[in-house]
Amino acid sequence: MTFKKLPYGKSNFADLIESGFAYVDKTRFIELLENESNAFQFFIRPRRFGKSLFLSTLEHYYDINQKNKFQKIFGNLYIGKNPTAEQGTFAIMKFNFSGLNTSSHEEFNKSFLDRIEQSVCAFLGRYKNIFTNAESFSQAILEQKPGVGALDFAYRAAQEAKIPIFIIIDEYDHFANNLIAMGEKYSGDVKKGGIVRTFYEQVKVGTDSIVRRIFITGISPMMVNDLTSGFNIADNYSLDAMYNEMLGFTREEVEWLMKESGVDKTKIKVDMEAYYNGYLFNEAAKKKVYNPLSVLYLFNQIVRLGEQPKDVVDDNLQTDYERLRRLAGNENNKERLLQIIKDGGIFGEVVKKFSLEKLNSEEYFVSLMFYLGMLTNGGEVKGKNWLKIPNYSVKTLYWEYLVSFVQDLEKKQVSTIDLTDVMSKMAFDGDFKSYLDFFTENFLKRLSNRDLMNFDEKYIKVMLLSTLFTSRFYLPVSESENINGYTDIYLQKSLSVQNLKFEYVFEIKYLKSGASKKEKDAKLTEALEQLDKYKKDVRFANRSDIKFVAIVFEGKGDYEAKEG
């Protein structure tokens, strides 16, 4: 059997199909979107969820210039066998607002207007075979530098040719996300009279004449509220159950992709469900979805190298980590993040649109975390909506944030060399006490009395997980389900370290300062009894390379540890 290539990093639909790449067929959603009563549509998803590829699919499907290639590139797909009435009938005008200069108000204005002019000129050039005045209009834009007014030239050209326009806007909010990342507020650019508002007002003007369809995407709804009065015509389908699987892979699609591209299942050692799955954008949706680029990253490495990569958490997540740090710039958001880390989620409702000025309120901050893919629907608990961390990969971002938070308490970095040294002793010599001494000295003792007020076993556990993960010796698993309950922490060997000798199961207990010896002994006995039950788990039974350790922490750094 000839296997197809994996489309890792591919976002051009026609090139993907014509070059023999595997394509997870999402074209049935084109039909659904076209059947919606509103042709002006808004849809957002987290980064690395395949938005650009889907936009390219829409472009190639509706582009009048691509009409003759329809059967060639769509023939084997759902929409190729079920074409809609509007296939191949539009001139596609594309805008992508990523990479704009946000270093200052002036630079942003210039780069935003330049991007509009460039995009309109590209549109005119793409259809110069149809638009009789395309070249003269492009020349006028270059000479006059009309900014948002460039749209008028596009409208005139399409009207003269009697070809309707489909406007596709990618990364509509990218510059706003950069403003957040820099800790700045919106300038007047998105308010009444600002260039962004003016642009969307001009897009709206086109809908009265020649603009028949609009599809806008990005990663958050934070600009929608500010743009509403200038652009109040689009419907937001981001949270609709029927579009839950439009981007991202279902379990069945992941299985299909493996077969189609020849991925050897026996090479997959990581729990893909735990690491990459878990996204649910509507609580009534029937299937959770995987992060598609994380899955493709794993599969691509297996096909290329013949084995699973050492780092199963994609390095691209680091950009999300930086955003997480900056979002926690005020005390309220910092406390919410710590709560999410401790509890694995937070109660809250997801709002459909909001402005940046409201980001510090709990409702809007939690919603932004949802849209960024840091939280997802976790079901209803006692009538309240639970938003949880979707998977292990995202959980590691929170752990890295927690390490940086503790280090910032004393403005002092923890020595990675020293951490590596104690982790090496634990992994190769079975010396877990050196690590616990390091942990209590460099993390627990940095906490203030205020931090300790609500301290409990959960806080201890997530702090341990944070340092254990950043060490890269282990892939720590929290609350690992087994036949006899839940292990607090299971330290699974990391593929990035060769010949690692010992794995660990930790059972954690915590007492406030001043606990009696009787209380400590009772907690230690309780922990040891739980470890005895965990030993019966099929994963751990009859293994000499696993150490079971009961640990009782007291107050701000004292502990007692005993191997079970």
- How far apart CA 172 and CA 218 sit, in angstroms, is 5
Alpha-carbon torsion angle 264, 270, 273, 278, nearest 10 = -130
How many other C-beta atoms are found inside a 10 Å radius of the C-beta of residue 69? 16
For residue range 349-405, what is the model confidence (pLDDT) as tens digits?
Answer: 998 887 766 767 777 889 989 999 999 999 988 889 999 999 988 988 888 888 877
Confidence grade of residue 188 (pLDDT, cut at 50, 70, 90): low
* Cβ proximity of 214 and 39 under 8 Å: yes
**Residue listed under structure tokens 């199963």:** 312
* Cβ proximity of 109 and 83 under 8 Å: no
Question: Could you please report the per-residue DSSP string of 63-124?
Answer: BGGGGGGHHHHHTTSHHHHS--TTTT-BEEEEEE-TT---SSHHHHHHHHHHHHHHHHHHHH
Contacts of 331 (CB under 8 A, 6+ apart): none
- How far apart CA 118 and CA 500 sit, in angstroms, is 55
Burial 482-517, CB ≥16 within 10 A → b, else e: beeeebbbbbbbbbebeebebbbbbbbbbbeeebee
Please state which of the ranges 238-242, 309-313, 490-494 shows the lowest mean pLDDT: 309-313
- pLDDT of residue 159 exceeding 60: yes
Helices then strands, each counted (H, E), the chain: 23, 13
Q: Average pLDDT, stretch 430-457?
A: 80
pLDDT at 356 (0 to 100): 67
pLDDT at 144 (0 to 100): 97
**Widest CA span of the chain, in angstroms?**
91
Which residue in 308, 449, 288, 442 sits closest to 373, CA to CA?
288
Written as six digits, the tokens of 560 are: 């007692």
- How far apart CA 39 and CA 90 sit, in angstroms, is 13
pLDDT at 165 (0 to 100): 98
Q: Average pLDDT, stretch 322-342?
A: 79
* Cβ proximity of 377 and 281 under 8 Å: yes
DSSP 374: S
- What backbone torsions phi and psi does residue 297 show, to the nearest 5 degrees? -60, -50
Q: Average pLDDT, stretch 148-171?
A: 97
Q: What share of the chain is helix, strand, coil (3-state, %, to 5)?
A: 50, 15, 35
Confidence grade of residue 177 (pLDDT, cut at 50, 70, 90): low
Mean pLDDT score across all residues of the chain: 88
- pLDDT of residue 529 exceeding 90: yes
Q: Based on the number of CB atoms within 10 Å of its own CB, is 306 exposed (0-12), middle (13-18) or buried (19 or more)?
A: exposed
**Residue listed under structure tokens 């503790």:** 406
Residue 507, helix vs strand vs coil: strand
pLDDT at 452 (0 to 100): 54
pLDDT at 425 (0 to 100): 95
Written as six digits, the tokens of 286 are: 């029937």
For residue range 7-16, what is the model confidence (pLDDT) as tens digits?
Answer: 998 999 999 9
Residue 469, helix vs strand vs coil: helix
Burial 252-274, CB ≥16 within 10 A → b, else e: ebbeebbebbbbeeeebebebee
For residue range 43-66, what is the model confidence (pLDDT) as tens digits?
Answer: 999 988 999 999 999 999 999 999
**Residue listed under structure tokens 């704009």:** 100
Q: Which domains does the chain have, with CATH numbers?
A: 25-243 (3.40.50.300), 414-564 (3.40.1350)
- How far apart CA 153 and CA 143 sit, in angstroms, is 13
Q: Average pLDDT, stretch 434-447?
A: 87
Query: Among residues of the chain, what percentage have pLDDT more than 90?
Result: 58
